[in-house]
Every structure is written in C-alpha cells, then in structure tokens.
Structure 1
Amino acid sequence: MAKSLLICSALFLAVVASVIAAPAPKKQLSFNLCKKNDPNLDKCLKTSIQEVIPHLSEGYPKLRIPALEPFELPSLEIDHGKGSTKSVSIDLKLKDVKITGLTGTVIDSLKVDVDNYRMTGKVAFAKPIVITGAYTVNGKVLVLPITGNGPCSITLHDAILDLKDVSGTPYQKNGKTYVQIKKIDLKLVNIKKLNIKLENLFNGNKQLGDSMNTILNENWPVLLEELQPALEEVVATIAQDIVNKALQKTAYTDIFPQ
C-alpha cells in the first residue's frame, strides 16, 4: 500500500525538478517550461507534468528517477501501534516489492508558491495500484491472531493522495539557487476499495489462511485505518529522498525562469 502512494507523490514532485534536464538516453522527454511570472502558472505546471507522467515507465536516469512500471523497492516495514483502531494490530514487513499502475497518476490540483518554495496538490490514480512482494506478518485482526510469510498482493482502487504541504529551503551552488525539500506533509484521503491476498498464512494451513484473507478483505477499512499513519510516514520519507535527488541536479531558478 505504502509504495503506491509514495511513488505517486515522489513522481509528482520529481518531475517538477526534471523540467530542464537532458533527455533520457533511450527517448526524448519533452517538458513545457512555465515561467515564474505566468498568471496561469499552476495550470501550466499541472498540464506539463501530466503530459510527462505516462512516459516515465522506464524512469529518468539523468535525474535518478526510478522506473515506474514496475516501481521496485527492496523492503517496506509497517509497525503496529500508530493507528487509532484497536481491532487490528499487526507488524507487516515486505521485501522485493513491486508496484504497478503508477503511470496512471492524475494530477487533480496543483498550487505553487515559487517565492516561498512551497507546493500543495492532490493526486488521483486512473489505474488500480497493485503491490506485490514477499511478506511476513504477526499480530491480530479482530482479536484473531495472524501469522505467516510468503507471497502477497495488495490492490488499491481509486486512491487519492492530498499533498498538504511540500516545503523547501534554498541554498546556493555554482552561482545558482537550488532547493532542498525539508518537509512533505501528505494524507491518504480516499480509497474506494482495498484487496489483499496473503499466501501461506498459518504455516500453509489453507482453511485458516482462506478464512483470514476473507476477514481481511471484508474488513479492509479497519485494516487501512490501522496501517494508514505508518503508510503516510513511509511515503513522505521516501518521496522526500527521491525528490531531493532530482533537485540536486536542477537549479530552482532554471525550473521557474522569469
């Protein structure tokens, strides 16, 4: 779950940093520059980024933007205790994570404060976000114990991510102004449905495993409520890392020319 949202926000922000970079070796990447004093700057930037997103399936090596289809992560850990519900309490660890569907990212809204190095926005997904990997889990769901390890698949339908505040700090390098992102405050504000499949639960006991997967899918809002704070924290941390790597390659004054 986490990675889908994370990449979306990272993608959304990192593409902004890529506006004047050299094209990727395998293809031309065209980006319409938006001038700082453009009265329709927000609309211009939203349109420009949206046009680029579908072409980032293979990533953008010049700015260290990873491939989006699939997006890969070595691991993801979600610890229990950060959610508000007491019905679900689990430690979920994933490794060899792959996420598909991120090139279906749709920018619903965007607002940029160029002079104060801040941005807000809202991002939706036109495709289901599918996360696969190898999991280990321990904890309880509706007072029932859950334990297991093996392949897993998690699918998010119609997710919406609210970038509440993305703020940076300027610094000088080679006579130009660059920006480092210091804060990313984001919120998962909508998911129409979550599907989850954990194979090999309870040491491969098919009856218990099938029953637990049914419980998880029937009670997915409760599961999401428990996992959401940890997901948002992980998303913000990884997005900040990806965006800052891209911003190190591109001067802020080149992103928003006069």
Structure 2
Amino acid sequence: MSTKLFILCGLVLTTIITVEGAPSSNLPKGFIQCKKSDPKFNECLKDGLQSAIPHLAEGVPSLGLIKVDPLRIIELKINQESGHPVNLDLKFNDVDLINLKHSQIKSVYYDSVNYNAKIEVLLPESLLLEGNYEVNGNVLVVPIKGKGKCKLVTDISNAVINVQFKPVVKNGNTFLDINNFTFEFTATKLHLKFDNLFNGDKALGDNMNVFLNENWRDILKELQPSVEQVLSMAFKEISQHFFNSIPENEIFLP
C-alpha cells in the first residue's frame, strides 16, 4: 500500500494551535492566550481553539494563515494493493475539503513535560470532498474504471489527533520536532458519486455508483487505514513546518 498527499495550506485542526502561542501583539482581536501555569490550561486551550476556528476558516493574514474552508488538496493518491477486497489505484487532484469551519473541539490535552498532545473533535456537518478523480481497479471483485468529477460526502462523528513531540535545542531556543502524528476518525456514513465512469457509459456508471453506496461500509473499512495514514502524514508535515519556525515557549506561554 502506498499513499501520497500534497496540500496547499494548513488544516484547521492542526494550525489552530499556533494561535495560542503567538505573541500577544500578533494575536487578532477575539483570540485567546493560554498559560501552562493555569490549572485550567487544557480547558483554556479548548476554548481558544474553538474561538479560533471561524477566524481561521476565513484566513488570518496577520498570522500568515490562508483560508482553510474550503481546504484545497492538490493531489491525493491511494494505492490499495492486490489481495484486498478493494483493490484500487485511486487518485484525487484539485479537490476541495469543505465544512471544516463547523468543527467543534471536544477536548484538548497537552503534556508540556512529556511533550504530547491529544485533540478530540466533533464534526456536526458532513465533510465534503469535491474535485477530480481517476480510478482503476476492483471493488469487491467488481471492476471499476473512470476519470472525471467526483463528490464524496462523509458523516464523521468523532476525530482524534495524537501528537508526540521531541524537544530540540537550536541557538539557545527549544523547538518541537514531531516524532509521531496520528489522525483517526469514526464515520457513520459515506456517500460517493463518480462522474464519467467507464468512459461515460451512463448505465454502467449509474449502476456502479449505486453499488458503491450500497457497500460503503465495506469500502470504508478497506480504505480508512490508507486515508488516515495519508492525512496523518500530511498534517504532520504541515505542523512541523510551523514548529520549525517558532520556539516552544512562544507557542505555549509560561
């Protein structure tokens, strides 16, 4: 199995942490600062992340953050190897991930001694993925091939992000390297629509879309580990770019 993803800008669930640690002079109005010495530090982070979401959805030029809803994904590849019920070469390009702005922060935990973080997120609105696709392979022994527009609608009840950092001292300042980053989600529904399947054969394409949606649970079960892996890799890269630029003491206040 191989996966690959390129993203134009940072995801709200990872980039919103940066708001908390920015110097107060750079914080836009309405953003919250949190101190590690506060007994309710994690609760403060939770409130701060939640308050940051609508601002980040529209972009925050003063923080160098581009609009993240919709989030433009330039390329995403999933190669599910033979031997699986779902055996696909599936590529998405120039797709938009929509409705991140409705994310609700359920809980935040940051351990400043052991340098690990956990964020739980609720997504009350369906997450949409719209753009271009190309697919070739088999789904539950049924052949599938096509290239065109697609729309995926996913209902996600819960998402969990776990990050393990490693402190690294550079020029007298402590920076955070990400040793491990995992993103896992629980989906309750998946609806798929692929246009122009089988070179535009409408009957075959319509039947395949019906088949895919009737078997969405089996398809998601097979593809979810690959999707989680590719998103984890992407979010780690996005996050590391920030943590390479800002010392830990400027991200989380004393």
Regarding TM over 0.5, the answer is yes
8 Å Cα contact 1:108/1:123 also seen in 2: yes
Give the aligned partner of residue 69 of structure 2.
69
> Aligned pair in 2 of structure 1 residues 21, 34: CA closer, same or farther (>3 Å)?
closer
Q: Aligned-pair distance for 1:64? A: 5.0
Give the aligned partner of residue 234 of structure 2.
238
Matches of 2:180 and 2:249, distance apart in 1: 20
Give the aligned partner of residue 163 of structure 2.
166
Match of 1:155 among 153, 156, 161: 153
Which has the higher mean CA deviation after the structures are superposed, 87-96 or 204-213? Answer: 87-96
Which has the higher mean CA deviation after the structures are superposed, 57-66 or 241-250? Answer: 57-66
Match of 2:112 among 104, 111, 114: 114
Give the aligned partner of residue 218 of structure 1.
214
For residues 71-127 of structure 1, what are the alpha-carbon distances to aligned partners after superposition, in whole Å with 9 as ceiling and x for unaligned? 002110011139xx9432222101111111011111112211012210112112122
8 Å Cα contact 1:43/1:110 also seen in 2: yes
Give the aligned partner of residue 55 of structure 2.
55
Matches of 1:71 and 1:206, distance apart in 2: 31
Calculate the TM-score normalised by the size of structure 1: 0.87
Q: Aligned-pair distance for 1:220? A: 0.6
Matches of 2:106 and 2:187, distance apart in 1: 15
Give the aligned partner of residue 12 of structure 2.
11
By relative contact order (CA 8 Å, sep 6+), the higher-ranking structure is 1
Q: Aligned-pair distance for 1:146? A: 0.3
SS at match of 1:192: strand
Matches of 2:166 and 2:63, distance apart in 1: 19
For residues 132-178 of structure 1, what are the alpha-carbon distances to aligned partners after superposition, in whole Å with 9 as ceiling and x for unaligned? 11111011122110000000000111342122x30111123453222
Matches of 2:64 and 2:232, distance apart in 1: 18
Give the aligned partner of residue 146 of structure 1.
144
SS at match of 2:43: helix
- Cα RMSD, aligned residues only: 2.7
Identity fraction in percent: 34
Matches of 2:89 and 2:152, distance apart in 1: 16
1:96 paired to 2:87: no
Give 1:91's aligned amino acid.
Answer: D
SS at match of 1:191: strand
Matches of 1:209 and 1:53, distance apart in 2: 38
Matches of 2:37 and 2:169, distance apart in 1: 22
Give the aligned partner of residue 33 of structure 1.
33
Matches of 1:55 and 1:109, distance apart in 2: 19
Give 2:78's aligned amino acid.
Answer: I
8 Å Cα contact 2:116/2:165 also seen in 1: yes
8 Å Cα contact 2:78/2:91 also seen in 1: yes
Give 1:145's aligned amino acid.
Answer: P
For structure 2, the 5+ residue unaligned runs are none
SS at match of 1:148: strand
Which has the higher mean CA deviation after the structures are superposed, 190-199 or 166-175? Answer: 166-175
SS at match of 1:170: strand
Give 1:28's aligned amino acid.
Answer: P
> Aligned pair in 2 of structure 1 residues 237, 64: CA closer, same or farther (>3 Å)?
farther
For structure 1, the 5+ residue unaligned runs are none
> Aligned pair in 2 of structure 1 residues 22, 43: CA closer, same or farther (>3 Å)?
closer
Matches of 1:92 and 1:159, distance apart in 2: 25
For residues 173-205 of structure 1, what are the alpha-carbon distances to aligned partners after superposition, in whole Å with 9 as ceiling and x for unaligned? 4532221222102322x2121111000000000
SS at match of 1:210: helix
